[in-house]
Amino acid sequence: MTAPPEWLTVLTTIDSEDKAHALAQGAVEARLAACAQISAPVTSVYRWQDAIETSEEWQVQLKTTSVRYEELEKYIEREHDYETPEIIAIPVVRGSTRYLGWVTAETAPETAL
């Protein structure tokens, strides 16, 4: 059995730049993510409640560890105003030792510091 990835990039989208900034800021302040990138508006096309929808959204990419994933997911669900927010974790299979060490240090729970 393969061990789960130690680091993750977690993706979500939200319907305004201000909400994206608030979501990113809160995750970093809570040490649930070491950093977050907010992409320029993207156009999303999706099926929702039996209709095809098109909307402008901002994608937020959060860098975290697998240890912090569950808390980050709960944070996004709590702070997000979508009924079913996108929350997708992509494993980081490789990265620079210094960067991944920084992600680990920045997401360490306060009690571990």
| Closest residue by Cα to residue 77 from 4, 12, 6 | 12
Q: Please report the pLDDT score of residue 46 as a whole number.
A: 94
Q: What is the pTM of this model?
A: 0.91
Q: What is the mean pLDDT of the chain?
A: 94
Mean pLDDT of the 50-56 span: 96
pLDDT above 80 (res 112): no
DSSP string covering 51-62, please? EEEEEEEEEEEE
Q: Which two tokens stand for residue 19?
A: 């909400």
Mean pLDDT of the 5-15 span: 95
CA distance 14 to 74: 16
Q: For 57-103, how does the pLDDT look when each residue is reduced to its tens digit (9 = 90+)?
A: 999 999 999 999 999 999 999 999 999 999 999 999 999 999 999 99
Do 13 and 43 form a contact (C-beta atoms < 8 A)? Answer: no
Q: For 26-52, how does the pLDDT look when each residue is reduced to its tens digit (9 = 90+)?
A: 999 999 999 999 999 999 999 999 999
Domain ranges, ordered by start, for the chain = 10-112
Q: Please report the pLDDT score of residue 2 as a whole number.
A: 63
| Closest residue by Cα to residue 79 from 14, 34, 35, 11 | 14
pLDDT band per the 50, 70, 90 thresholds, residue 1 = low
CA distance 112 to 83: 34
The structural architecture, per CATH, of the domain 10-112 is 2-Layer Sandwich (3.30)
CA distance 97 to 64: 15
